[in-house]
Amino acid sequence: MNPEAREAMIAGQGDPQRELPGPRSFSAAETDLAGEPAAPVRIRIDLSYDGTGFSGWAAQPGRRTVEGVLAETLGHVLRLPAAPRLTVAGRTDTGVHARGQVAHADLPDAVWAAHADAARRRLARALPPDIRVRAIGPAPDGFDARFSALWRRYSYRVCDDPAAADPLRRHETLWHPRGLDLAAMNAAAGTLTGEHDFAAFCRRREGATTVRALRRLDWQRDDDGVAVACVVADAFCHNMVRALVGALLAVGEGSRPPSWPSAVLAAAVRDPAVRVVPPHGLCLEEVRYPAPGQLAARATLTRRVRVTQDTGG
């Protein structure tokens, strides 16, 4: 399998008291002048959310999820007869945040034409304060939020000086009790990049591949001295980012040598010594797509060789 095919194979995946207008039927508007069903328009949605109060992205009965809240609010704002189906770039886990999430929905053209100008403003009023739609509008031809993506970029924040920790950022930063040697952590991280079987750092799923192409993994300190990991891959298997961070923290605090994470990787089995760190330090920062003229080809390639679903975190 060529590298492009291999990369594509593992690519991704308001105020609650406010009474919103009820949905109304658009059955008449969903046909063209000849009486034939009108082609839908694909809408790209760029959004951010604080994952603290959500049970992850994916809709689940009886649970508050990002997908559930967003789809229901879209249905009300656009006066749809039912909540639209959403496709997302990265299905984040419970407690994981997103600054650069991307989704799409296919809507009747007449519905979008009637609400396009006011959609973003109305969503800002209707959504709860822990979700913001940054942009919403027609997607280029061939766009698929999940299958067209080239890569996803996550960050993970760690404060290793609890006395200096910012309590206002405690919901997005892990407080670590011991100082970290970022040079050692980066030396270890450098042995993990590239295409590998990350079974040792993933929760296995029946029939799912754990091969991933890790493009970047490194640590830097921000202006406040917080250690921030940058993790980029075509896609991530379940718990992969948090397990990688946990292994590198063990190196940074000196309890494991820099060679240990690569040895764990080579073993290709879950090691109970690898700690999966809490989700609140993790954030989906960006999803990158090819140029508009290459979107359809990328999505087609990804679908043709896809063997599993991806999640973030």
Q: Where are the domains of the chain?
A: 3-138, 152-289
Q: Give the whole-angstrom CA distance, residue 21 versus residue 41.
A: 23
What is the structure's pLDDT at 137?
Answer: 97
* CA Rg value for the chain: 21
* Buried b / exposed e along 63-90 (16+ C-beta atoms within 10 A): eebbbbbbbbbbbbbbbbeebbebbbbb
What is the structure's pLDDT at 28?
Answer: 35
What is the structure's pLDDT at 2?
Answer: 53
Active-site annotation holds for 160: no
What is the structure's pLDDT at 36?
Answer: 53
What is the structure's pLDDT at 29?
Answer: 42
pLDDT in tens, the chain (313 residues): 554 554 444 444 333 333 333 333 334 344 444 455 568 999 999 999 999 999 999 999 999 999 999 999 999 999 999 999 999 999 999 999 999 999 999 999 999 999 999 999 999 999 999 999 999 999 999 999 999 999 999 999 999 998 999 999 999 999 999 999 999 999 999 999 999 999 999 987 776 788 899 999 999 999 999 999 999 999 898 899 999 999 999 999 999 999 999 999 999 998 889 999 999 999 999 999 999 999 999 998 877 754 443 444 6
pLDDT in tens, 245-268: 999 999 999 999 999 999 999 999
Fold of 3-138: Alpha-Beta Plaits (3.30.70)
Of the CA atoms within 13 Å of residue 111, those in its CB half-sphere come to 28
Task: Determine whether 13 is exposed, middle or buried from the number of CB atoms within 10 Å of its CB (0-12, 13-18, 19+).
Answer: buried
From 93, 144, 234, 310, the catalytic residue: 93
Q: Give the whole-angstrom CA distance, residue 254 versus residue 182.
A: 11
Q: What is the pTM of this model?
A: 0.86
What is the structure's pLDDT at 1?
Answer: 54
Choices 3.30.70.660, 3.30.420.40, 3.40.50.10490, 1.20.1370.20: CATH for 152-289: 3.30.70.660
User: Are both 3-138 and 152-289 of the same fold?
Assistant: yes
Q: Which two tokens stand for residue 227?
A: 């250690």
pLDDT in tens, 74-120: 999 999 999 999 999 999 999 999 999 999 999 999 999 999 999 99
CB distance 111 to 29 below 8 Å: yes
Task: Determine whether 218 is exposed, middle or buried from the number of CB atoms within 10 Å of its CB (0-12, 13-18, 19+).
Answer: middle
